Amino acid sequence: MRDIQAATITQAISRLCEEANLYLGEDVVDAFKAALAVEKSPMGKDVLKQLIENADIARKEGFPLCQDTGTTVVFLELGQEVHVVGGDLYGAINAGVRQGYTAGYLRKSVVDKPFSARINSKDNTPAVIHTEIVPGDRLKITVAPKGGGSENMTRLGMLTPSAGRQGVIDFVVRAVEEAGSNPCPPVVVCVGIGGNAEKALLIAKKAMLRKLGDRHPDPELAELEKELLTRINATGLGPQGLGGTTTALDVHIDSYPCHIASMPVAVNIVCHSARHKEVEL
Amino acid sequence: MEISAPLTNEDVAKLKAGDKVSIRGVMYVARDAAHKRIVEALGRGEAPPFPLEGAIVYYMGPSPAKPGKVIGAAGPTTSGRMDSYAPTLMARGLKGMIGKGMRSKAVKEAIKEHKAIYFAAIGGAGALIAQRIKAAEVIAYPELGAEAVYRLEVDDFPVVVIDDIYGGDLYEEGKAAYKRELAV
């Protein structure tokens, strides 16, 4: 067993919350630049230029990229040989969120009593934490702040097996078209196919962590990603939905085996602030 | 095109879907919880927290200002969530709305009826937009935190007209202009 101090986890989470909200990944900035070179709409080009400038201002001036600094989604890959000491794991994570969102001047966007009083927790806790137990003695932590505008556009389709590949394409493209300008295009479209209802949503969410431009190692899924990207960019929505040829920067798909009766498809749309930062302890 | 807030009927009549506009002057910030309170207050016959006549409302909830800064990141939120409140405010004199995303049929009808205008700011460009805000002050509902009502003074605040009084809608027109039909 290898010991990891809870305080070390708190510190790591706090730093990742700030970094994820201020520093857009190089892969995303590169995707803006690549899109700018091919975007057909003048207004779309204008939007892309401003998104590049926005990332630059955020980095240099210490502003969050977006005022919606999200629900704090935390993915853990916890080695089964790790022993967390000096506090409980989830408590340490929420302490890190509290610290990062307060010290970093990030917006506190989490409310309790969701359908009634909607009381703000004032420190963005609790985080939404997904834990995977893996072999080894390391702890990999990823912080992915997720904004409300894009998360509200999530779709889950319990398709039938007969719907097949075309059924997946139709469902995903329709989800993006119906979301329109709401999730802040150009978006990253993350798709989970298979599993059951909650598994499809989870693998779709986790697919956002892949670097933009990287294809799924399974050639069949890689091909589907490419076709979906072409079709989504043919919808005409464009940057910010103002019309154009760059509706999505990329499509990331993951899949999981499913029941003989089912073919779940989940679509999780990530806004152009495709934020995540990770560390391995 | 440059316009100054608050707006008049003449200002609004000049604006067409697709126009790029730079705004200077005063605007008010309100989003979900503040809209609910404002409309409830109007229903009780109370005064709104800011003068609605000619006003521009910006659907936004900023991140906290760092020391020495006017405001934190300050980009628009999704306007559709304010659709159920917007016609009431337009009937009371509201002239401009700034947000992102599509509006309902009822809102578009109210825009025509009451001579108002709906602009989009760039969603997710919170750091950039913050540079155009010269003063910010909480004027109502401070207990709502990020959802409080702010009075902003802005200069060269960049927006584009989405819905105008003539029934124009940039989201529909822009999408149609760039849509391509692909073989199945």
**β-strand B96-99 against B56-58: which pairing, if any?**
parallel
Regarding whether A165 and A267 lie in a shared domain, the answer is yes
Amino acid making up residue A213: G
The answer as to whether A193 is a domain residue is yes
- Work out how many CB contacts closer than 8 A connect A with B: 172
The answer to whether residues A242 and A204 belong to one domain is yes
CB-based contact, B128 to chain A, within 8 Å: yes
Same structural domain for residues A169 and A193? Answer: yes
Q: For residue range A55-106, list pLDDT tens digits in order.
A: 999 999 999 999 999 999 999 999 999 999 999 999 999 999 999 999 999 9
Residue A210's pLDDT is what? 97
The confidence score (pLDDT) of residue B184 equals 72
Q: Does residue A33 belong to any structural domain of this protein?
A: no
- Compare CB distances from A51 to B20, B77, B125 and report the shortest one's residue: B125
Q: Say if residue A251's pLDDT is above 90.
A: yes
| Domain layout of chain B by residue ranges | 2-178
- Tell me the average pLDDT across B157-166: 97
Q: Quick check: A176 and A53 in contact, CB under 8 A?
A: no
> Do A225 and A102 share a domain, yes or no?
no
CATH level 2 (architecture), domain B2-178: Alpha-Beta Barrel (3.20)
- A242 within a domain of the structure (yes/no): yes
Which ranges in B50-120 belong to alpha helices (H)? 86-91, 105-114
Average pLDDT over residues A111-132: 95
Q: What are phi and psi for residue B137, nearest 5 degrees?
A: -145, 135
A234 close contact with B: CB closer than 8 A: yes
Q: Measured between CB atoms, which of A109, A184, A231 is closest to B100?
A: A184
Range of the domain at A71: 2-20+65-146
- Find, in chain B, the residue whose alpha carbon is nearest to that of A60: B127
The pLDDT value recorded for residue A112 is: 96
Residue B151 CB contacts under 8 Å (≥ 6 apart), including other chains: B26, B27, B28, B29, B50, B135, B136, B137, B139
- In angstroms, rounded to a whole number, what is the distance separating the alpha carbons of residues A177 and A50? 23
Q: Where are the alpha helices (DSSP H) in chain A?
A: 6-22, 26-38, 42-61, 89-103, 148-151, 164-179, 197-206, 219-233
Residue A175 contacts residue A264 (beta carbons within 8 Å): no
Number of domain units in chain A: 2
Question: Which residues of B are part of the catalytic machinery?
Answer: 35
For chain B, how are helix, strand and coil distributed in percent, rounded to 5? 30, 30, 40
Kindly state whether residues A135 and A191 are assigned to the same domain.
no
pLDDT of residue B182: 87
A158 and A250, same structural domain?
yes
**Would you call A45 an interface residue with chain B, using a CB distance cutoff of 8 Å?**
no
Q: Chain B closest CA to A102's CA: distance in Å?
A: 9
Return the structure tokens found at B145: 């935190």
**Residue B69: Cβ within 10 Å count:** 15
Q: Is residue A255 included in any domain, yes or no?
A: yes
Give the CATH number for residue A223. Answer: 3.30.1330
- Does the complex come out with an ipTM higher than 0.85? yes
A235 touching chain B per CB within 8 A:
yes
Examine the domain organization and report whether A245 and A153 are in the same domain: yes
**pLDDT band, residue A193 (cuts 50/70/90):** very high
- Which residues of chain A have a CB within 8 Å of the CB of B103? none
Cβ under 8 Å to A: B residues 54-113 = 60-66, 69, 72-75, 77-78, 80, 100-102
Query: Of A55-59, A81-85, A115-119, B51-55, where does mean pLDDT reach its minimum?
Result: A115-119
Note which residues in 1-20 of chain B have CB less than 8 A from chain A: 18, 20
